Structure 1
Amino acid sequence: MIATPVSSPAYLEYGLDTLFGRITKRAECRIGLEQVENDAFCFAIRVPSPLSDDLEQAKTLVLRVEGRRLQGTVRHSERLEDDSLRLEVEPD
């Protein structure tokens, strides 16, 4: 997978688990797309600040960026020093 600059426009749909079941939220934002180190199967996205408050709790993710559609289960999220969010996703 080729990394994209953090400025790539993207459309996200992400699933959150709540007391009332899973809900889906949507966001348009800029992201960077990268491969996860030592795991050729998974990918990661980096979302710069400002971002949705609940994106860090996302359990599933559908991503449309540069004409591609990627989806999967979020297996790890991490807030970085520059206040951006990095989500590691295992494709479905």
Structure 2
Amino acid sequence: MTTISSPAHLDYGLDTLFGRMTRSVDCPVGLEPVEHDPFRFALRVPAPLPEDLEKAKTVVVSVEGRRLQGTVRHIERLDDDSLKLEVEPD
């Protein structure tokens, strides 16, 4: 599947020793359906990756006039060094 990357604003939550911390970044993302789960969506973020994104527990993404948010259920590093996050909407 070819992913089209669009400029986006991404807020993601990290669990730390001091509680939940949120980071924000503007970066390109691709939106994809998740195979066998019509309720989830996948975000593909190309390298270079935002700091600690692979540890994200929650995400809010604003892309193409849409705002999507949810809990990260699975993270996968792909062969091209991009990161794919499967998100279950809130």
Secondary structure of the residue aligned to 1:56 is: helix
Match of 1:69 in 2: 67
Match of 1:15 in 2: 13
Q: After TM superposition, which residue ranges in structure 1, 4 or more long, deviate above 6 angstroms?
A: none
CA distance, structure 2, for counterparts of residue 90 and residue 20 of structure 1: 25
Aligned identity (percent) is: 70
Provide TM-score, normalisation by structure 1.
0.93
| Coordinate RMSD, CA, aligned | 1.2
| Pairing of 1:24-39 with structure 2 (within 5 A) | 24-39=22-37
Match of 1:41 in 2: 39
CA distance, structure 2, for counterparts of residue 64 and residue 35 of structure 1: 17
Q: Which amino acid aligns with 1:66?
A: E
Which of 50, 54, 62 is the matching residue for 1:56?
Answer: 54
Q: Which runs of 5+ in 2 are unaligned?
A: none
Match of 1:89 in 2: 87
Q: Which amino acid aligns with 2:39?
A: F
Q: Deviations over 1:50-73 (max 9, x none)?
A: 011300000000000000000000
Q: Deviations over 1:3-30 (max 9, x none)?
A: 8612x00000000000000000001000
Provide TM-score, normalisation by structure 2.
0.95
Q: Which amino acid aligns with 1:38?
A: H
CA distance, structure 2, for counterparts of residue 4 and residue 61 of structure 1: 19
